[in-house]
Amino acid sequence: MQETTSEETDLDKAQGAFLKAVTNMPAFAGPEKTFDSSMAMALVEGLAIFSADSAKEMLRTALNSVTEHDRKVRYEAEIQEHVEAGGKYVNIYVLDHTNYGGAAEGGWYYTSGTPLSIGYNRHHDDPDYRHHSQQNLRNTTKVNALDDPERVKAEVNKALNAARNGDHKLNELVNEYAIEVKVEDRPAEYWPAVTPHYQ
C-alpha cells in the first residue's frame, strides 16, 4: 500500500473543494452532466502533470473564480426574487453633469450617477456596513413588499437634508455635489452602463 504525503492530501482536498463548488453552483446545478462540470473534471485530471504546489495554486485560482461567479449568480437570483415578491430598492446617487460626450453641436455632455459611498441603513444590520454616520446613510436600501418605497425615499431625503446641515464627513459631500434618490428595481449601480451617443 502506497503511503500518501501531506502534499498529496492537501491537493486531494483542493481538488475536492473545486469539484464540489462547480457541481453545487446554481448556474450548473442539475442531474445532467454539463459542459462546465466536464471541463472541471478535465482540469483536475490535467493537473497531474504539474507539481503538487503548482496544481494547488491553479486549483485555488480556479476555485476563487468559481465561487465569485457563484456569488454573482446567487446575488442576481436574490434581486429577482425580491422584486418578484413586490420589493423595491431606494438608491442614492451622486450626479455628475460634466461627462464629455463628444464634439457634436459644439460639444455635449451627459449626466452619470455614482452610488453614494455611504448609504442609508436604519438598523445597522448590514455586516459590511462600516461607516455608521449620524444619519445612517447608505447607497441602497432594500424595501420589502409590505413597506412603502416612497416613504423610505422621503426618510432618506430627510437624512440627506440633516447631513447638509450637520458637522460630519457627509456634510461636504452632500453640499458640494448634486444628489438624487431613486426608487428602482435593482440595488444602486453606476449609470449609464455605456457611454451614450449624441442624438
Q: What secondary structure, in 3-state letters, does 24-39 show?
A: HCCCCCCCCCCHHHHH
**Helix ranges, the chain (H):** 6-24, 35-46, 52-84, 149-165, 169-176
pLDDT bin (cut points 50, 70, 90) of residue 90 is very high
Is residue 146 situated within a structural domain?
yes
pLDDT bin (cut points 50, 70, 90) of residue 129 is very low
- Same domain assignment for residues 13 and 54: yes
Is residue 199 situated within a structural domain?
no
CB-based contact 40:67 (threshold 8 Å): no
pLDDT at 30: 56
The CA distance from 179 to 159, in Å, is 12
pLDDT at 161: 85
- Same domain assignment for residues 107 and 151: yes
**In a 3-state reduction of DSSP, which class is residue 21?**
helix
- Same domain assignment for residues 43 and 118: no
Residue 7 has pLDDT above 80, yes or no: no
The CA distance from 198 to 95, in Å, is 19
pLDDT bin (cut points 50, 70, 90) of residue 121 is very low
Q: Which residue has the higher pLDDT, 137 or 111?
A: 111
pLDDT at 127: 39
- Same domain assignment for residues 173 and 119: yes
Domain interval for residue 24: 6-84
Residue 130 has pLDDT above 50, yes or no: no
pLDDT at 123: 44
Identify the top-confidence range among 50-64, 66-80, 177-191.
177-191
pLDDT at 26: 65
- Same domain assignment for residues 98 and 18: no
Q: How far is CA 63 from CA 9, 19, 38, 110, in A?
A: 17, 9, 15, 40
Report pTM.
0.58
The CA distance from 68 to 16, in Å, is 18
Is residue 197 situated within a structural domain?
no
- Same domain assignment for residues 110 and 176: yes
Is residue 196 situated within a structural domain?
no
Q: How many domains does the chain have?
A: 2
End position of a domain, from candidates 65, 84, 103: 84
- Same domain assignment for residues 121 and 134: yes
Residue 53: all three cell numbers together: 504546489
